[in-house]
Chain A
Amino acid sequence: MTRSARRTRRTLQVAGAGAAALLALSACSSSDDSSTGSDSSTSASSPDKLSGTVTVFAAASLKESFTALGKEFEQEHPGTKVMFSFGGSDSLAASITGGAPADVFASASPKTMAIVTDKGDASGTPATFVRNQLEIATLPGNPDKIASLKDLTKSGLKVVLCDKTVPCGAAAQKALDAGKLKLTPVSYEQDVKAALTKVELKEADAAVVYKTDVNAAGDKVEGVDFPESADAINDYPIVQLKDAPNAEAAEAFIALVQSADGQKVLTEAGFLKP
């Protein structure tokens, strides 16, 4: 009698432990790399005093400038911490609509921003805070003498583009269409940094990427401007998310990005003013 009761209890314990392990696993996978939530209880009595973590999901092309802005934010508001998740705008948007706990979303195109706003996950209307222009990235010293977008169509040249599903690829296609050019790349890369890396590693001779990425890569690549890029300028919208765990800090971070200080950091990185 007691024995079977004990056995049942133990079974329940084991089952409970198994369920807990499963829950822990699923919790891990859904919360990704951000660990907000716990310290988001900002007291309403002192709105000037920000605290806790603000989680920013931002397009891969914003990595360098936003990292700098994050440091500035932490200095201005002691006690706060800015966590970033950089990646392809599409995958970030998918994570947000999938329930990732983020405060701010900055994407590389209105189209990817629309994925989030259409689902009702944004609080307020997205604001365009910068624009970005394409540039050709070539090997240092430009050994293939690339001077225009048309030069990329030369045979024997290994060119990589972003895939048409991500903003930099869509923009490159727009520029090619504007110049009535047809270009067969060796690869369609999954985001702008992957395309640039192929040139940095000298596996490809050229890539069509953002001006800001060429700047950020320093002397590992050389940039070539081309007039068709004017027809394919990307707007970058930023928005506070509806379920933001730290709404006040999110608001302050967006304000910093739009402030004169923030704009200075962004234009220095090669972004255009909206």
Chain B
Amino acid sequence: MTSPTDAPDKSAAAADTLRGGPRRGRVRTGFGRGVPLPLLVPALLGLAFLVLPLIALLVRTPWHSLPDQLTSPEVWQALKLSLLCATAATAVSLVIGVPLAWLLARVEFPGRGLVRALVTLPLVLPPVVGGVALLMALGRNGIVGQWLDAWFGVTLPFTTAGVVVAEAFVAMPFLVISVEGTLRAADPRYEEAAATLGASRFTAFRRVTLPLIAPGIAAGAVLAWARALGEFGATITFAGNFPGRTQTMPLAVYLALQSDPEAAIALSLVLLAVSVAVLAGLRDRWMTAS
């Protein structure tokens, strides 16, 4: 079976980059042999640049007051809400993102390049801009939101559902890119074989394609979940900030920083620990399965 990383396809490569590059274990070169210094020095500098702020956070953590900070009901409330909303946003992304990725990878249609660019736009868009755009679309006065309000009495801003929407908007492109890359690398001949045996295109997708790309989907889902967990700008712009309803951990960190920096550091540490645990724990299980 062709594994995703073997394909020279561009989007597969892009998905690989997002997933952390080609698999570990393939490059078995020790530092002592074959690594030129002009590469090693900037590489270590780059590593230090990315890791140093995290170390600083650990160094400055108020360990003595940490137990009090972490057992406070507000922190639990924010953490619970963060985990819930990130999971819900990932579920939403899976339900509509996987079919979208399939469409982009398997169906030729005019303007596909443009559609792909639009799908990945939230990746580069400042999240606050995403939040403003969501308000214009789904707010109480938005072009779609006003009808939601008039017909169903549903308003998304200031609700937990609004948080999920904001997080899904920002996180879904990670899943779509990941899954599309895996799909492009997966051999379509399996689906063709299924079709010759009488399976409809949907059956082939369900019974053949989905199992084939499961690791890619899992990788995309983890990325999307992690991105949703850290989402701040779109959430505070679109969903506001209310403890227990829309105040996720990143919002709690930002507002704690204004009055109680120690609490902000403690909260950041929790978020960091959760993110690292999930990325590290799931990486080996899902992302290295070929």
Contact = CB atoms under 8 A, between A and B. Distances in A.
Nearest to A198: B240
Residues of B in contact with A, size category? 20 to 34
Contacts of A88: 258
Contacts of B239: 187
Interface of B: 37-38, 41-42, 45-46, 49, 135, 139-141, 157-158, 236, 239-243, 246, 254-259
A188 B241 contact: yes
A202 B258 contact: no
A202 B157 CA distance: 11
B92 to A, nearest CB: 22
A122 interface: no
A190 B255 contact: yes
Contacts of A28: none
Interface residues of A, number: 29
B258 A201 contact: no
A255 interface: no
Interface in A87-101: 88, 90-91, 94
Contacts of A232: none
A57 B58 CA distance: 31
A187 B37 contact: no
A136 interface: no
A160 interface: yes
A22 interface: yes
A10 B246 CA distance: 53
Given A163-B255, A201-B141, A203-B140, A186 B240 contact: yes
Contacts of A190: 236, 241, 254-255, 258
Contacts of A186: 157-158, 240, 242
Nearest to B38: A14
Nearest to A88: B258
B258 A91 contact: yes
A15 interface: yes
What 6 pairs between A and B have smallest CB-CB spacing? A187-B240, A186-B158, A165-B259, A90-B258, A202-B141, A165-B258
Interface of A: 7-8, 10-11, 14-15, 18-19, 22, 88, 90-91, 94, 158, 160, 163, 165-166, 185-190, 198, 201-204
Given A18-B45, A94-B257, A201 B240 contact: no
B240 A90 contact: no
A8 B236 CA distance: 50
A91 B257 CA distance: 8
A158 B246 CA distance: 15
Nearest to B236: A190
Nearest to A7: B37
B150 to A, nearest CB: 13
Given A11-B38, A203-B157, A163 B258 contact: yes
A69 to B, nearest CB: 26
Contacts of B140: 202-203
A129 B282 CA distance: 57
A106 to B, nearest CB: 18
A121 B176 CA distance: 49
